[in-house]
Amino acid sequence: MALEKRIALGGEGGQGVQSAADILAQAAFEEGREVLYIPNFGIEQRGGVSLAFVQIGEKPIGSPKFKQADLIVALSVRSLERLEPYTGAESTILYDSSLLAPPEVADAVVGRQVYNTHAPEAFAERQLTDQKQAIPEITTGVKHMLGLPAGEIAQNQLHPRVSNIVILGALARLTEAVQLNSLEKALLKRLASKLERDPALKPLNLKALRLGWETLHQQVSV
């Protein structure tokens, strides 16, 4: 069966959604795949919701848009709400459980809870607390909902700024869209200028990528 993956990512401006999507697309391209990456974010960047849509296949991609994603990656409540129209019965949602509380499930439907939205400008550097945002109701029903404490992993073992790279490793392993070595090469190419200024970023980001990849090594592929 030909590989075809439709992935939608979302978060607050400053969480590194576009960097993760760009690296994923570059890795697939380096493997000779057909790739289409479409960023979607406001001019404010920080303070707004940042979305990214990536399609990976072995045949030319016919349309820049898709109605249903195989994988939804949500780093905030607002982004999950914005991406909810792209979910379906066969979709999987991967969310950062460091920021979003696990969903309450009743009668196979995710229960709606009251929540307060954190100030988005602070997401890139904010310290994690016990106050998590509740996942909103997903009315379409989904195949799987998986929580990964990417923020906690990054903050406790690495650096808060690489939580998006942890998520990137996890989503790539979950979808089996690209190989780890291709992802590592794409990451180093994407960060080349920063690595030249600060070589310590190389092992930090590579470790974050591998931690995300290894965390989901036993999960069922999307």
Q: pTM of the full predicted structure? A: 0.82
Taken in order of first residue, the domains within the chain and their CATH numbers are: 4-215 (3.40.920.10)
Provide the token pair at 127: 């310290």
Query: Mean pLDDT by 10-residue block, N- to C-terminus, for the chain (222 residues)?
Result: 84 92 96 94 68 94 88 92 90 87 46 31 44 62 83 90 95 92 96 92 95 72 49
Q: At what angle do helices 17-30 and 180-190 cross, to 10 degrees?
A: 120
Residue 123: what pLDDT? 37
Contact 43, 54 (CB under 8 A): no
The confidence score (pLDDT) of residue 106 equals: 41
Number of Cβ within a 10 Å radius of residue 154: 25
